[in-house]
Chains A and B, each alone.
Chain A
Amino acid sequence: MSTGLLTLLVAALAILGMVMGRSRAVATAGGDIRKLHSLPFFYGRFTALLTAVPAFLLIIVWLLAQPLIVENKAAALLSPADIPDGSSKALVMTDVRRIAEGLDRLTESRTDIPALKADPAALKAAMNAAGVALQTDPAPSVIEAAEALREAQGRSRLYLSIAAGIVALGGFAWGVSRIKPEFRARNATEIFTMWLLIGCSLIAVLTTVGIVASMLFETGHFFRLYPAKDFFFSTTWSPKFGGGSSLGIIPLVWGTLYVSFIALLVAVPVGLMSAIYLAEYASKRTRAWVKPAIEILAGIPTIVYGLFALITVGPLLRDWIAQPAGLGDSSSSVMTAGLVMGIMVIPFVSSLSDDIINAVPQSLRDGSLGLGATPSETVRQVVMPAALPGIVGAVLLAASRAIGETMIVVMGAGAAAKLSLNPFEAMTTVTVKIVSQLTGDTEFASPETLVAFALGLTLFTLTLALNILALYIVRKYREQYE
């Protein structure tokens, strides 16, 4: 039974439970609903919830776990001899999956499957005709594994249908059997709903656990294949698919920090000064349209900035500054990425700083102005010191944003890992390398791929630390005037 059909059946049973529960409740009360503890529809809802929710949870968990178990079974049938040189078990398993899918399609249209299975070349031709592209003639053991995979999938689907059916029917029967006039159906449904709400709010925690666990797991994997000392302290980055690569993070971290530094060099003065102007000088009407206009910059997707860096800013900087000054002739450079990223981060600095400057009590300003200070002296000597921790927090948040930014640096900073001071040279960052190591056909066994997880974990830790520090500073400051 397909998953869709199963879902529909469970849903139908739940609707039936809703109707049955309600009518049974009315019936047990002898048609007089005043005798019921709760309104009749609560009895129906109770039955429906008991029918549907556990069954759906089972289906979801099963579908997530099924490939794991089923594929292990099929993979066990493959011997090391079946894996060609330069390939891996994972790649062969892709073929197995594809053949299994092809066999599914072929069984619909052809009857000579056993004959086909004995003849790899004919099988390949038939598969290609059915829209499943195979590069080489499949080895007999691969076909066998595919067959085993299909069988196991079919069996798993059957078991799932049976198990979900039992759970749904059991919930249904239990729900209906509990219906009595004195049964507190409303309270029961509410407790049930409350647990659903709690479950939903736990998803956020599960996401974090998932992020940390998956990255820790793969990073551990990576450090078993590649020494951690070299990863953290080597100054060369040159991955070679084929072994003998050196994967030092230092040039990547250098590029990341350099780009972020230039971005902050652009964003902090511009963002801070516009926040001060908007908060202290601008009329209400100017503020009403300038503030949203600057915030548009934050709403533009980063791919747009990336393209802007690639087609406009990069060539402009190269032709007008880098080449005449003899600093380099690459259109992607730290300066390009940094400038464009700076533009992107302006609203992060300006919006937060604006809020923080506005939170400084008016009495401080009045006191300063009353003593004869000009507005700018008030800002510099009274408002700024009071708002400083918050502004530092805003800058740290902007920095974490810049460090984690991907598309701008992928399209604007370049791909060569270098340790250089020249901002017009192409350098690369942690995020660029995560993308380049993980895009395309990935194979989870080589250090060249797994290094991306170590990079990701580094990035995650770095940005998390910055965020926590920023939030801590902002929070600590806010308490002062409340």
Chain B
Amino acid sequence: MSGSLFTLDARTKARNAAERRFRAYGLGAIVIALLALVWLLISIFSAGLPAFRQTFLTFPVTLDASQLDKSGTGDVAQLSKITTITYAKILGQSLEAAIAAKGIDLGGAKPKQVADLISQESAATLRSKVMADPALIGTTIDFTTLASGRIDGYYKGRVTMDSAALDKNTSPEQLRLADKLKEAGMLAVRFNTGFLTMPDASDKRPEAAGLGIAILGSFMIMAVVLVLSLPIGVAASIYLEEFAPKNWITDLIEVNIANLAAVPSIVYGILGLAIFINFAGLPQSAPIVGGLVLTLMTLPRIIIPTRAALKAVPPSIRDAALGVGASRLQTVFHHVLPLAMPGILTGMIIGLAQALGETAPLLLIGMVAFVRDVPGGLFDPASALPVQVYNWTQRGDPGFVERASGAIIVLLVFLIIMNTAAIILRRKFERRW
């Protein structure tokens, strides 16, 4: 006799078990989604954080006048004929001399290997330093410069003694020498401001590659997007939400905007290439083209939240304004728009954040180009943060993986700042009518 409700029969037990399983699936799905997020962030941050630290060498460099200023006149035109090859030689000799002066045993490292401790970029740095101040020639200066990529990799765990034995760009002797230099205080791992300020560097010099131009280019693009899409987006939303009559034309526009918001971003890249570059003849890799393309992409994504913000303003506000004699435009511009502004700005910031992370359209308009000169204006070639990331992942040297991840961290920091601003704006000014 199983009449009591307190003794569960087999069927009820099975049903309850099914209930528990179902709940567990749901919880499991959420845990999977959150774990994926955490895994993604951990993987990027652990790969990218080392990019903010860099190995530097400090040693006295004797700027030998007999090599750098053969004429002895200090004439800048003569000085500029001395190439980086000479400077590289001077750096190598100075480092060797400095090591000898400290009484450090080379441990079998050949002079070439000693010179290769220094980044190839250093010769150019030293040259521009001398060119800026020719009075330095003949003196001995304390010079702090980048160590080569492999040495840097050694202190970040990317290069080991075993891998160095197989690598033709470095050797265990070189690494042991680097360890001794570290003990002697000539080599140190420090915070790397150059990563945020320097331009991109060529394939062999990951240690010198920086994000300066990319950050600048991204800012220029964002400025163009902001200047164009805010007024146009707000104007279009106002018309569609407040004035447009209900007919097939406005229906068409609305369907259009909804669809444009879902068009794959790469299609906008094709549009930009065909219209702005091929048809209108604007230059490739220019921030202006990037800005225009991203504006077209962002517009529908801004119009949708802007319309929602306008719609959220209660009709009583409009009625009151119209009632005291304001015209329809005055009603909108003096009353509805200011009240909707926090919502509009929130949508705007989120739209801009999306545009900042967009890569594919910029690839097509040629922003992958290798740019080392600071862009002077919107029509000069520049890079952009996400494209720089892509660019670095295509390079051979493993040092660039760390750079790419580091660049992503910078990008994510910008995105976090923008989204936080949007959230604060919404919290602070949100009104419930």
Which residues of chain B are near A202, meaning CB under 8 Å?
A: 253
Q: Are A435 and B363 in contact (CB under 8 A)?
A: yes
Min CB gap B266→A, angstroms: 5
CB neighbours of A471 from chain B (8 A): 258
A residues at B contact (CB < 8 Å): 64, 67-68, 71, 186-187, 190, 193-194, 196-198, 200-205, 207-208, 210-211, 214-215, 217-218, 269-274, 276-278, 280-281, 290, 293-294, 296-297, 299-308, 310-312, 343, 346-347, 350, 374-377, 379-380, 397, 400-401, 403-407, 410-411, 431, 434-435, 438-440, 442, 444, 452-453, 456, 459-460, 463-464, 467-468, 471
Nearest-neighbor residue (CB-CB) of B389 within chain A:
A303
User: Is B134 an interface residue when CB atoms closer than 8 A count as contact?
Assistant: no
Residues from chain B with Cβ under 8 Å of A197 in the complex: 235-236, 238-239, 243
Chain B contacts for A218, CB-based, 8 A: 274
Query: Which residue in chain A gives the minimum CB-CB distance to B38?
Result: A293
Query: In the complex the two chains form, is B265's CB within 8 Å of A456's CB?
Result: no
Residue from the list A376, A401, A459 in contact with B266, Cβ < 8 A: A459
Contact at A276–B235, with CB atoms within 8 Å?
no
Contact present for A207 and B299 (CB under 8 Å)? yes
Is A68 a contact of B280 with CB atoms below 8 Å?
yes
B259 contacts across to A, CB distance below 8 A: 208, 464, 467-468
Q: For residues 211 through 265 of chain B, which have their beta carbon under 8 Å from a beta carbon of chain A?
A: 231-233, 235-240, 243-244, 252-253, 256-260, 262-265
A411 to B265, CA, bound (A): 16
When the two chains form their complex, are residues A71 and B22 in contact, meaning their CB atoms are under 8 A apart? no
Contact with B256, one of A208, A280, A453 (Cβ below 8 angstroms): A208
Q: 5 A–B contact pairs at CB < 8 A?
A: A200-B239, A204-B253, A301-B386, A375-B19, A439-B368
**Is B34 in contact with A460, judged by CB distance below 8 angstroms?**
no
Q: Which residues of B31-90 are within 8 A (CB) of A? A: 32-34, 36-37, 39-40, 43-44, 47
B358 within 8 A of A: yes
Contact with A along B363-378 (1 / 0, CB 8 A): 1101010000000000
Query: Are B29 and A273 within 8 A (Cβ)?
Result: yes
Q: Interface readout for B256-288 with A: 1 if CB under 8 Å, 0 if not?
A: 111110111111111101110011110000000
Chain B interface extent, by class? 35 or more
**Residues of chain A lying within 8 A (CB to CB) of residue B21:** 376
A463→B356 CA distance, assembly (Å)? 23
Residues of chain A lying within 8 A (CB to CB) of residue B263: 211, 404, 460, 463-464
Taking CB atoms, residues of chain B closer than 8 Å to A404 are 263-267
- 8 new A-B contacts at CB < 8 Å, known A215-B271, A273-B26, A297-B33: A186-B327, A211-B267, A215-B274, A271-B29, A277-B27, A303-B411, A453-B274, A463-B264
> Is the pair B253, A201 in contact by a Cβ cutoff of 8 Å?
yes
Q: How far apart are the CA atoms of A377 and B19 in the complex, in Å?
A: 8
Instruction: Give B369's nearest chain A residue, CB to CB.
Output: A440
From known contacts A277-B30, A301-B357, A374-B18, infer whether A204 and B236 are also in contact, taking CB-CB under 8 Å.
yes
Is B192 interfacial (CB-CB < 8 Å)?
A: no
Closest 3 pairs between A and B when the two form their complex, measured CB to CB: A404-B264, A301-B357, A277-B26
Q: Would A350 and B253 count as touching, CB distance under 8 A?
A: no
Best-buried of B15, B354, B390 by chain A (most CB within 10 Å):
B390
Q: Is B118 part of the contact surface with A, judged by Cβ < 8 Å?
A: no
Q: How far is the CA of A300 from the CA of B359 in the complex (A)?
A: 12
Minimum CB–CB distance from B16 to chain A (whole Å) comes to 7
User: For A347, what are the chain B residues with a Cβ–Cβ distance below 8 Å?
Assistant: 33
Q: Is the CB of B33 within 8 A of A274?
A: yes
Residue of A nearest to B394 (CB): A411
Residues in B with CB closer than 8 Å to A205 are 252-253, 256
Shortest Cβ distance from residue B120 to the other chain A in the assembled complex, whole angstroms: 22
Q: How far apart are the CA atoms of A86 and B146 in the complex, in Å? A: 42
Interfacial chain A residues near B257, Cβ < 8 Å: 204
Tell whether, in the assembled complex, residue A302 and residue B357 are in contact, meaning their CB atoms are under 8 Å apart: yes
A197 to B275, CA, bound (A): 24
* A438, B127: Cα distance in complex, Å: 38
For the complex, give the distance between the alpha carbons of A26 and B233 in Å. 36
Taking the closest CB of chain B, its distance from the CB of A317, in whole angstroms, is 13
Q: Is B393 an interface residue (CB 8 A)?
A: yes
Chain B residues positioned under 8 Å from A431 (CB to CB): 264, 266, 360
Give the A-B pair count, Cβ closer than 8 A: 253
Decide yes or no whether B312 CB sits under 8 A from chain A: no
Contact (A463, B358) CB under 8 Å given A303-B389, A307-B389 = no
B36 and A439 form a contact (CB under 8 A) = no
CB within 8 Å of A: which B380-433 residues: 386, 389-390, 393, 401, 404-405, 408, 411-412, 415, 419
Name the B residues within 8 Å of A306 (CB-CB): 359, 390, 393
**CB nearest neighbor in A for B350:** A299
Given the complex, which residues of B lie within 8 Å of A438, measured CB to CB?
A: 269-270, 273, 364
Output the least CB separation between A376 and chain B (Å). 4
Contact A207 B264 (CB under 8 A): no
In contact, B327 and A273 (Cβ under 8 angstroms) = no
Q: Which chain A residue shows the least CB distance to B359?
A: A303
Nearest CB of A to B143, in Å: 29
Measured CA separation A142–B414 after assembly (Å): 46
B267 surroundings in chain A (CB, below 8 A): 211, 215, 404, 456, 459-460
Rounded to whole Å, the gap between the CB of A215 and the closest CB of chain B is 6
Q: Is the CB of A68 within 8 A of B279?
A: yes
CA distance A404 to B244 in the complex (A): 32
Cβ contact within 8 Å between B265 and A406: yes
Most buried by B among A215, A270, A346, A375: A270
Closest to B327 in A: A190
B22 near A200: Cβ-Cβ < 8 Å? no
B19 touches A374 (CB 8 A): yes
Contact in complex: A305, B40 (CB < 8 Å): yes
Q: A201-B239, A405-B264 are in contact. Are A456 and B270 (CB under 8 A)?
A: yes
Kindly state the separation between the CA atoms of A307 and B244 in the bound complex, as whole angstroms: 45
Nearest chain B residue, comparing its CB with the CB of A339 = B36
Give bound CA distance, A27 to B218, whole Å.
Answer: 50
For residue B18, which residues in chain A have a CB less than 8 angstroms away from its CB? 374, 376-377
CA–CA, A223 to B386, complex, Å? 34
User: Contacts of A453 on B, CB cut-off 8 Å?
Assistant: 270, 274
B348 contacts across to A, CB distance below 8 A? none
B8 contacts partner chain A, Cβ-Cβ < 8 Å: no
Q: Does B296 contact A (CB under 8 A)?
A: yes
Nearest B-chain residue to A217, judged by Cβ: B274
A440 to B365: give the CA distance in the assembly, Å: 9
Distance of B20 from chain A, by nearest CB (Å)? 9
In the complex, chain B residues whose CB is within 8 Å of the CB of A68: 279-281
Give Cα A375 to B21, complex, Å.
Answer: 12
Q: How far is the CB of A133 from chain B (nearest CB, A)?
A: 12
Of A203, A210, A218, A302, most B-chain CB atoms within 10 Å: A203
Q: Which of A270, A377, A463 contacts B32 (CB 8 A)?
A: A270
Across the interface, which residues of A come within 8 angstroms of B415, CB to CB? 299-301
Give the distance in Å from the alpha carbon of A7 to the alpha carbon of B394 in the complex.
42
Contact A300 B40 (CB under 8 A): yes
Cβ of B300 under 8 Å from chain A: yes
Q: Are A269 and B357 in contact (CB under 8 A)?
A: no
Q: A299-B415, A303-B357 are in contact. Are A214 and B264 (CB under 8 A)?
A: no
Q: What A residues does B359 contact at CB under 8 A?
A: 301-303, 306, 406-407
Q: Does B329 contact A (CB under 8 A)?
A: yes
**What residue in chain A is nearest B229 (Cβ atoms)?**
A203
Residues of A near B279 (CB, < 8 A) are 68, 214
Among B33, B44, B327, B328, point to the contact of A346 (Cβ < 8 A).
B33
Q: Which of B25, B36, B232 has the most CB of A within 10 A?
A: B36
Tell me the smallest distance from the CB of A434 to a CB of chain B, in Å.
Answer: 6
Residues of A within 8 A of B281 (CB): 67-68, 71
Q: Are A343 and B36 in contact (CB under 8 A)?
A: yes
- CB contacts (< 8 Å) of A200 on chain B: these are 231-233, 235-236, 239
